[in-house]
A and B are shown apart, each in its own frame.
Chain A
Amino acid sequence: MEYYADQGWTDGLPVVPVTESYLAEFLAQTDRDPGDVLLPMPQLNRACTVRLAAINAALAGCRPEYFPVVLAAWESLAAEGYPAKGIWQSTTGTAPFLIVNGPVRERIGLNSKGNVFGSGFRANATIGRAIRLGVLNVFGLRPHELDQATQGTPAKYTFCIAENEEESPWPALHTEFGLAATDSAVTAIVIRSCVHIEARHTRVPEQLATDIAGTISRTGALIHETISAAVVLSPEHARLFSAAGWGKSDLGQFLFDHAVRTREELAAAGKEAVSSRTRWRLPADHPDALPSDTGDGAVRVLNSPAAVLVVVAGAGNAGVSAVVETFGPRGGPPPVTRVTGRGGAPRCA
């Protein structure tokens, strides 16, 4: 254990020693060739292969049967785009957020219910950690060296949840993007923060949605002209919306219209204009400044309703939800990636 720590192969916590025979158990979970590249980072001349992903999954404390989920997570991160472009070297300090759908959740004991963001479940803890250890060990993105994160986020330890499909009134996330309910999938997104919302006080959907919009539009989240968000609703909140006839797209539309800041509020923080070169927010008296948006006084912080991703997770025991602040202005389909095991078949229950 100390040897691995001395080599600098940990995230600060002890890792599991990996032998060739133990590694073979992980590689046996997939048909993929160990040399297959999952995520290249050409600017560093480094790439994560299936074998390297397996080593780091084993180090992380994953069970071998978690490995197909880890593979899908790496593939989803490659499709997501930002990791390959070097976002994990940035001062902005983002973490990978993994959302898992389908029968694999129950098979490996992934938590989708109470305390879904917190620790206590091996699959949640180690699958996210498998990615973190890969980032450190495969790409060498160590803090103070190639990882320039100013403060980072606790989510960098691990941030892996399962969607609570059973208590959601809406279709599972992966089925919205072309997969079958019997498929398992991982959707990976680069994120900055996970922000808690207390809303136990209302049954009016517009009030709840306004509360959520207020968190999305906080000025501290605004670096670019627009931002994006994943809204993780507890089952109680999801049912509140669906009982009022709202679907996920209705919520997305409401948030697009109501996640706004007045020009005065933005100006008080020096963010009322955007740079003509970079579209980053700045004060209006900056030489690069363009005025942003049109003149009705309220500036939208989302570029479209599609910039909001809605998932359901957590216990059905209180009106608590969260906004996960996803990196970058989004709008296209998220990188939903099928989990496949040996034989190329989807991993089903």
Chain B
Amino acid sequence: MADGILLERAGLPAVSICTDPFALTARAMAAAYGFPGFEYVSIPHPVASLNEVQIQARVHDMLPGLLRILGVEQWTPR
């Protein structure tokens, strides 16, 4: 969360990705950085134990939300 906020403030578009159980922590961290409204992508937990196919599915599912936060208006899923 901190990295995403600091990158945004440095002018680099960034989207932070967290897993669902960290929602409360993510909000607390964003508040600690003076950016309580910081939007991020939340995905199901866990990730560390997934295989390649499962990770690709996670990425596929998160893409619309990620692109929306980045401000992308048009994209064609491959």
- Which residues does A use to contact B, with CB under 8 Å? 43-45, 89, 140, 144-146, 148, 287
Contacts and interface: CB of A to CB of B under 8 A. Distances in A.
Contacts of B24: 144-145
A145 B28 contact: yes
Nearest to A150: B21
11 contacts: A44-B32, A89-B25, A140-B28, A140-B32, A144-B24, A145-B25, A146-B25, A146-B28, A148-B22, A148-B25, A287-B52
Nearest to A46: B32
Contacts of A140: 28, 32
A146 B29 contact: yes
Interface in B4-60: 22, 24-25, 28-29, 32-33, 52
B2 interface: yes
A132 to B, nearest CB: 19
Contacts of B52: 287
Given A89-B25, A148-B22, 11 more contacts: A43-B2, A44-B32, A45-B32, A45-B33, A140-B32, A144-B24, A144-B25, A145-B25, A146-B25, A146-B29, A148-B25
Contacts of B25: 89, 144-146, 148
B contact residues, range: under 10
Contacts of A287: 52
Interface of B: 2, 22, 24-25, 28-29, 32-33, 52
A85 to B, nearest CB: 13
Contacts of B32: 44-45, 140, 146
Nearest to B21: A148
Contacts of A148: 22, 25
A270 B25 CA distance: 30
A140 B29 CA distance: 10
Contacts of A145: 24-25, 28
A43 B28 CA distance: 13
B52 to A, nearest CB: 6
Contacts of B2: 43
A158 B51 CA distance: 40
A80 B33 CA distance: 25
A98 B15 CA distance: 40
Contacts of B22: 148
A89 B52 CA distance: 28
